[in-house]
């Protein structure tokens, strides 16, 4: 739920489960992780339209595949983010999500002690074009590793910041 301020409440629905929702206890996501990007398992998603933003995410996929243990594509953004909160994977990123795709997942990661920024490291809002969530331990190292790729994309005119800001929405961005 977003109302004149950053997200207040979040819920993730997984109809394949009998109860229709995912019920879990988030852990502090950075417990016991050594902090090496090379040993981190990452997850992402791809939109259905094969346009410039899709190509942008593919470029980021290549970059992350080169610097990590591996990258998986599992499904819904908020569910993928909950996997970060549970410590199943170390980080998640995606480009061109909508607020309803990620608001609950972002809140769950933040409450579990993880880190959330834009792909270029900027302060995050659910109205941004990109998101990077992590266990917090590898966040700065991931940003450092993908920095050249995001700068290259920016030089091509690819934006990572706000795509929309609703009237009366309070943010310091």
Question: For the residues of 101-146, what is the DSSP string, one character each?
Answer: HHHHHHHHHHHTT-EEE-TTSPPP-TTBSEEEEE-SSSHHHHHHHH
Task: Tell me the C-alpha to C-alpha distance, in Å, between residue 89 and each of 49, 118, 126, 134.
Answer: 26, 18, 21, 8
- Rounded to the nearest angstrom, the gap between the alpha carbon of residue 96 and the centroid of all alpha carbons in its chain is 11
List residues forming the annotated binding site for Mg(2+): 101
Q: Alpha helices of 68-98 — where are they, by DSSP H?
A: 77-85
List residues forming the annotated binding site: 101
């Amino acid at each position: 739920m977003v109302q004149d301020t950053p997200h207040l409440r979040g819920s993730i629905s997984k109809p394949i489960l009998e109860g229709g929702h995912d019920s879990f206890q988030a852990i502090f996501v950075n417990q016991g992780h050594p902090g090496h990007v090379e040993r981190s398992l990452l997850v992402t998603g791809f939109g259905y339209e094969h346009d410039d933003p899709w190509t942008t995410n593919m470029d980021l996929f290549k970059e992350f595949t080169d610097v990590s243990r591996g990258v998986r594509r599992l499904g819904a953004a908020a569910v993928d983010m909950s996997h970060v909160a549970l410590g199943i994977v170390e980080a998640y990123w995606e480009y061109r999500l909508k607020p309803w795709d990620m608001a609950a997942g972002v809140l769950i990661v933040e409450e579990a002690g993880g880190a959330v920024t834009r792909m270029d490291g900027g302060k995050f809002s659910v109205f941004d074009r990109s998101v990077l969530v992590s266990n917090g331990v590898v966040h700065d190292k991931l940003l450092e590793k993908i920095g050249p790729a995001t700068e290259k994309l920016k030089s091509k005119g690819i934006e990572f910041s706000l795509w929309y800001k609703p009237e009366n929405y309070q943010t310091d961005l």
